[in-house]
Amino acid sequence: MPLSEQEQRALDAIERALYEDDPKFANSVDARRIRRRRPVIAGTAFLLGLVCLVVGVMLAQNSLAVGVAASVVGFLVMVAGVGLLVFGQPGQLRGPATNDEGVRPKSANTLSDRMEERFRRRFDEE
Query: pLDDT tens digits, residue range 25-71?
Result: 777 776 666 677 888 899 999 999 999 999 999 999 999 999 999 99
Which pTM value belongs to this model? Answer: 0.50
Residue 2 has pLDDT above 80, yes or no: no
Where do the structural domains in the chain lie, given as residue ranges? 5-90+99-125
Q: Tell me if 17 sits within 8 A of 10, measured CB to CB.
A: no
Q: Which of 34-43, 94-103, 109-118 has the lowest mean pLDDT?
A: 94-103
Number of Cβ within a 10 Å radius of residue 124 = 7
Average per-residue pLDDT in the chain? 79
42 contacts 82 by C-beta, under 8 angstroms: yes
- Distance (Å, whole) CA 26 – CA 118: 42
Q: Is the confidence at residue 92, as pLDDT, over 60?
A: no
Distant-in-sequence, close-in-space partners of 108: CB < 8 Å, separation ≥ 6:
96, 97
